[in-house]
Structure 1
Amino acid sequence: MLVKDPKKEFYDKIQHQRVLILVTFDVDALCACNILQYLFQCDQVLYTVVPVTGKQDLENSFLENSEGIKHILMLNCGATIDIIELLQPDDDVCFYICDSHRPVDVHNVYNGVQVKLLMKDEEMRDIPDYDDVFRDDEDDESDAESNDEGEQLSKRKRYSDEYILKRRERRQWEENRNKTLFEYTQFSSFGSSAALLMFEIAWRMSKDTNDLVWLGIIGVTDQLVHYRISREKYIEDVMTLQSHVSRHNFKEGPENNQPINSLKISFEDELQLTLYRHWSLFESICKSVTTACKFKVWSMKGRKRLHEFLAEMGLPLIQCQQKYSAMEPSLRNNVKELIQKHIEKYGFAPEDIVIPSFNAQYGYRNKLCASDVVLACCALLESPQEKSQNATDSFFQAMDILNRKNTKEMEEALNMAKKQIGALASQVQTFLDMQQVMSAGPFLYAFVQEGTLEAKCLSKPQCLQRLARFTLEAYSAERRSKKTQYLPLVLGVPLDAEQQTSLVIGIPPLNLDDERKNFFGKAFEQAAVTTNSRTLHNYFDNYILQMNTEDRGKFFDALINLLQVSLSLSLSLSLSLSAFICASP
């Protein structure tokens, strides 16, 4: 059931109770959790935070930590699965789900007692009607315990016109139900950031602070960085946050003599250059998806064009190749204006290189862009684990660096992020140099070779998402044919050499970029079922799965058959739907 009044129906209900918070491994959920911790600490609410990596981990964590707890809060997990069916809780346990994954399972939507959805009402308009997916039949078809006379009456009833009519009506209803559910669940997408929703709850309770605004900004930026929402949706959310930033800036103006180490948030157009304030300008341009693909920096000709671009701006190469903070101030202070002035000549649209964003500063030196924090947190969340460390340790380390006092830890995380991004760029260049991106007809595919040094770093869901997007854009830039704009990509990376498993992701084609809807979840499920492949659909993002490497061949054959029809129809989502319906058995 959708919560209409979060304070009354959610916060007031749990304020004097003990709460279990289940949080998935993404930056948006991390920020939402931090906001909730602040609120709970203000009101002395008892809580336990447990990070979960997937559906199996969710089930285990609930069983291990739910004893005596009647209120479970789920951040970016649980919405897309029938949570009551999966966890089998007691009747007096209530789940509050704040999850940006869509579509929401219909059982969660229509469960008015045990499931409460913390989501925006306008994002729930496409839910199927109750009568289309649920039916209460009073007639019982089985009369197993009836006597002889009852059996005779039942037999007459079975063959009566009325009974046949009811059976036909039920069969028709079931067909319509299956079609309705398929249309509803065929595409994976994302709604509003969980961190943004948690911040709005804090604001409505008059407990918002500048630090909470910053956490909301990071959550929304995480959705953009990992291609979960469109640019238009991002700008809409950013403008909502800008009103809160302006309000806090007015309230904490210079006349109040704020200390220098207080958090200051500024709204400005930001260059879409990865970590450029913490890197060299040259390295950032070469490893940012948009600029790397436009210049084709993996080729000699592309590098030459990049050098030409820098020279035309009047930026000496030696200055661009040293750390950004060490550049001459006269050059560094004009970088944004120079790039915007000369970039259109090289085929860039203004929105390709600049996007509205926020910077946070505390003290004289600690200036961070929201995307910098997202990448630093991701690097910690998905860092390769040492023997003495587990995933939970990484989760809480990533949570710690969101505290602005931990500047040293943030610097270390930013260095880890640079290594991760370097591994992504290196792997993309390997794909192109070795011509490892292949066409299977209705989609492109590529696999990271076993034994690759970067494989351990790349075999993480969010990192794999960025690698897939980088690969698809680079391949499209390399090919002159516009056909590549209409082809999705399936990308795999070795996961466990001993168990012979791979991590596989599917992303939609570039021409559907504004929709941000992914059809690979259903396609993967269907291909796995028809071929009896050994796959594990454990992630909350259903377009990511684990697969036994030996089954890759037959799995891909089935996937090609499923998507073959949609190749000519991929220009629109509606036609893609028709193709999947035709391909389904």
Structure 2
Amino acid sequence: MGFINDLRKDFYDVIDHQRVLILVGFDVDALAACKILLHLFQCDHVPYTVVPVSGREDLESAYQENSEGVKYVVMLNCGGNFDVIELLQPEDKVLFYICDSHRPIDVFNAYNAVQVKMLVEEREAGDDLPEYDQVFRDDESDEDDSGNESEGSEPSGKKRRFNPEALEKRRNRRLWEEKRTNILFEYEQYSKYGKSAALTMYQMAWKMSKDTNDLLWLAILGVTDQFINFKVDRDVYMSYIDELQHHVSRHNHRGDDVESTISVNCLRITYEEELQLTLYRHWSLFESLCHSPYLACKFRVWTMKGRKKLHEFLADMGLPLVQCQQKWTAMDVNFKDEISSMILDKMEKYGFDKQYVFLPSFHASYGYKNKVCATDVVLACSSVLESIDRDASMTDSFLSALDVLTRANVEAKEKCLGLAKMQTKAIVSQVQSFLDMNQIVSAGPFLYAFIQPGTLDVKFFSKAICLQRLAHYTLEAYASVCKSKKNRALPLVLGAPLDAELGTTIIIGIPPILDESRRSFFGKAFEQAGEMTNSRMLLDSFDSHIIQIKSEDKSKFFDALIGVLQ
């Protein structure tokens, strides 16, 4: 199989001093992994070309345009869950190294040990990976027999003689193919995510003794991106945090005699219990509470009664409203220092669950003023990555997002935090609109909602990451107001206008709130519904639970989807 356990020996040493093409998926984890790899390449003078790709069509065109003379291709968070050789049709000499968190891994990639190498330990690929003999057959004579209808017949003009051996071979092959189809369906029916690509790249740098505090911070950002964008559950996230905490202690534990000699501009990383309040250090506390999914849904801040209850909560903690409504930086330092303990004291009274209010995370500081938490940096980077600026190309957005991950570029980070707040406001406003207009509808096996063309801020939701955040916030808000227990346990399908000129819609499906495994069954369901109705749909995203479809075909597609999921 094409799994690599020793990244240094079987990956890095092979491509060292060779020209490398790096294809990078459009998410923060992939960007962080890319920066780690580029740091290593620059240290060892490895020539490279970096190209961002947002989907399979981008991947195909990027490879065709940049593959001339390239023998080694590295793919970050793309290419793992589909047959990359079939899509790209490379020359035999080209070797692909795929570091992709998307699961399940395509069986052709897993077993193509000649041209495809997965930067994944075999145990991490999953115990459910089918055996080679279950999905591949090397008996060419079976193919000849099955395709030859006149097998065993006499020459033309004579009576055909019955050949039981050929008939038995055809029957066995048919049974094998039916079994193979069932095995593959069972293996591929759920999409999920594996280890962060940035964490994988950092572990390689560490084993090569080339890891630094800056690379460690990038690995933290990759892991944080996976958690806050609903790719891994809390238990998986905590296992990553425990591992990273050892590296943080190793890089940031300095004795008293060393402390005075360290430059103030050196990066320092600290572990803290972070309040899960959206961008509160760059907003007012009141605005942050209103835009933080868990607490906003607990108070139902989109209603007058909910706002009143939020005011009561703040008063109960002893926080003056005037302090809560001004920027966090201008807030009285005594209140800022005590806010975590104040909320902790009132959690039981207001029915809060601690794991949704506090998040074990890390902060980075350099200089006296520049202290940021990992969650804020990920939100800022995501907002510029999915820029709504019409003049900004995909490459422009990619480079701007890389700037945000560069710690010295404080101005870029501050600007993008403003974009992140705009994006968050648009999400909250749309959720409130869904609830006010009763636009979240039960279709039986799932809930669905559609953003109407011409809606304010609709441009934000044509982007995958923002649409996913909207979907999860919508489902959580609906669950907080829905009286039916059955409806609270349903998944959600959400659609938004994608391209008015082409008449296309982007659709995403997410699992129920009660399902904390983060596994989605919508990839296969969408595929089946599309085939049943001949809908004009495009499976371009690296995430199988996100599709594009012609707006005219939505109605028949949804009718079929209901049938598939019942």
Return the TM-score normalized by structure 1.
Answer: 0.93
- Cα distance between partner residues in 1 of 2:106 and 2:155: 41
Residue among 441, 452, 455 paired with 1:452: 455
Shift of 1:559: 0.6
Which residue in the other structure is 1:137 paired with?
A: 139
Shift of 1:21: 0.2
1:436 is aligned with what amino acid?
Q
Contact residue 252 and residue 258 of structure 1 kept, 8 A:
no
Change (3 A) 1:535 1:338: same
Which residue in the other structure is 1:316 paired with?
A: 320
Residue among 375, 380, 385 paired with 2:384: 380
Which residue in the other structure is 2:307 paired with?
A: 303
Matches within 5 A, 1:136-285: 136-139=138-141, 140-141=144-145, 156=161, 159-250=162-253, 255-256=258-259, 257-285=261-289
Between 530-539 and 243-252, the greater mean CA deviation after superposition: 243-252
Which residue in the other structure is 2:524 paired with?
A: 522
Query: C-alpha root-mean-square deviation of aligned residues, in Å?
Result: 1.7
Change (3 A) 1:397 1:556: same
- Cα distance between partner residues in 1 of 2:361 and 2:101: 21
The Cα offsets for residues 161-205 of structure 1, whole Å up to 9 and x where unpaired, read as 332222222121111101100000000000000000000000000
- Cα distance between partner residues in 2 of 1:428 and 1:254: 54
- Cα distance between partner residues in 1 of 2:464 and 2:153: 61
2:114 is aligned with what amino acid?
V
Between 147-156 and 187-196, the greater mean CA deviation after superposition: 147-156
- Cα distance between partner residues in 2 of 1:466 and 1:254: 46
Q: Could you say what secondary structure the match of 2:253 adopts?
A: helix
Correspondence 1:84 to 2:85: yes
Change (3 A) 1:91 1:447: same
- Cα distance between partner residues in 1 of 2:80 and 2:355: 33
Residue among 435, 458, 462 paired with 1:432: 435
- Cα distance between partner residues in 2 of 1:485 and 1:210: 43
Change (3 A) 1:426 1:489: same
Change (3 A) 1:173 1:310: same
Matches within 5 A, 1:497-536: 497-513=500-516, 515-536=517-538
- Cα distance between partner residues in 1 of 2:29 and 2:303: 36
- Cα distance between partner residues in 2 of 1:66 and 1:153: 56
- Cα distance between partner residues in 2 of 1:261 and 1:279: 25
Residue among 496, 505, 508 paired with 1:493: 496
Shift of 1:263: 0.5
Q: Could you say what secondary structure the match of 1:359 adopts?
A: strand
Between 458-467 and 146-155, the greater mean CA deviation after superposition: 146-155
Aligned length: 560
Shift of 1:35: 0.2
2:518 is aligned with what amino acid?
R
Which residue in the other structure is 2:375 paired with?
A: 371
Contact residue 344 and residue 350 of structure 1 kept, 8 A:
no
Contact residue 529 and residue 564 of structure 2 kept, 8 A:
yes
The Cα offsets for residues 311-341 of structure 1, whole Å up to 9 and x where unpaired, read as 1111111101111111101111111111111
Shift of 1:458: 1.7
- Cα distance between partner residues in 1 of 2:151 and 2:185: 39
Change (3 A) 1:154 1:539: farther
Contact residue 143 and residue 151 of structure 1 kept, 8 A:
no
- Cα distance between partner residues in 1 of 2:428 and 2:154: 78
Matches within 5 A, 1:390-409: 390-409=393-412
- Cα distance between partner residues in 2 of 1:152 and 1:253: 100
Shift of 1:240: 0.5
Change (3 A) 1:155 1:392: farther
- Cα distance between partner residues in 2 of 1:20 and 1:352: 41
Unaligned 5+ residue runs, structure 1? 565-585
Shift of 1:232: 0.3
Shift of 1:127: 0.8
Shift of 1:536: 0.9
- Cα distance between partner residues in 2 of 1:189 and 1:143: 42
Shift of 1:147: 12
Q: Could you say what secondary structure the match of 1:342 adopts?
A: helix
Which residue in the other structure is 1:353 paired with?
A: 357
Q: Could you say what secondary structure the match of 1:334 adopts?
A: helix
Q: Could you say what secondary structure the match of 1:192 adopts?
A: coil
2:529 is aligned with what amino acid?
A
Shift of 1:385: 2.7
1:38 is aligned with what amino acid?
H
- Cα distance between partner residues in 2 of 1:155 and 1:226: 64
Which residue in the other structure is 1:29 paired with?
A: 30
- Cα distance between partner residues in 1 of 2:212 and 2:381: 21
Identity of aligned residues (%): 57
Shift of 1:270: 0.6
1:161 is aligned with what amino acid?
P
Q: Could you say what secondary structure the match of 2:140 adopts?
A: coil
2:565 is aligned with what amino acid?
L
Q: Could you say what secondary structure the match of 1:511 adopts?
A: coil
Contact residue 224 and residue 231 of structure 1 kept, 8 A:
yes
Shift of 1:120: 3.3
Change (3 A) 1:417 1:162: same
The Cα offsets for residues 349-405 of structure 1, whole Å up to 9 and x where unpaired, read as 111101110011111111111010000000000011333x21110011100111111
Change (3 A) 1:151 1:291: farther
Between 420-429 and 478-487, the greater mean CA deviation after superposition: 478-487
Contact residue 188 and residue 521 of structure 1 kept, 8 A:
yes
Return the TM-score normalized by structure 2.
Answer: 0.96
The Cα offsets for residues 45-64 of structure 1, whole Å up to 9 and x where unpaired, read as 00000000100110000000
Which residue in the other structure is 1:294 paired with?
A: 298
Shift of 1:485: 2.9
- Cα distance between partner residues in 2 of 1:498 and 1:252: 63
Contact residue 388 and residue 459 of structure 2 kept, 8 A:
yes
Change (3 A) 1:447 1:143: closer
Shift of 1:254: 6.1
2:380 is aligned with what amino acid?
A
Which residue in the other structure is 1:583 paired with?
A: none
Contact residue 275 and residue 340 of structure 2 kept, 8 A:
yes
1:536 is aligned with what amino acid?
L
1:133 is aligned with what amino acid?
V
Which residue in the other structure is 2:466 paired with?
A: 463
- Cα distance between partner residues in 2 of 1:563 and 1:82: 26
Which residue in the other structure is 1:581 paired with?
A: none
Change (3 A) 1:144 1:556: closer
Q: Could you say what secondary structure the match of 2:514 adopts?
A: helix
Contact residue 152 and residue 163 of structure 2 kept, 8 A:
no
Contact residue 153 and residue 159 of structure 2 kept, 8 A:
no
The Cα offsets for residues 513-551 of structure 1, whole Å up to 9 and x where unpaired, read as 2x1100000111111111111111100001111111111
2:222 is aligned with what amino acid?
G
2:387 is aligned with what amino acid?
S
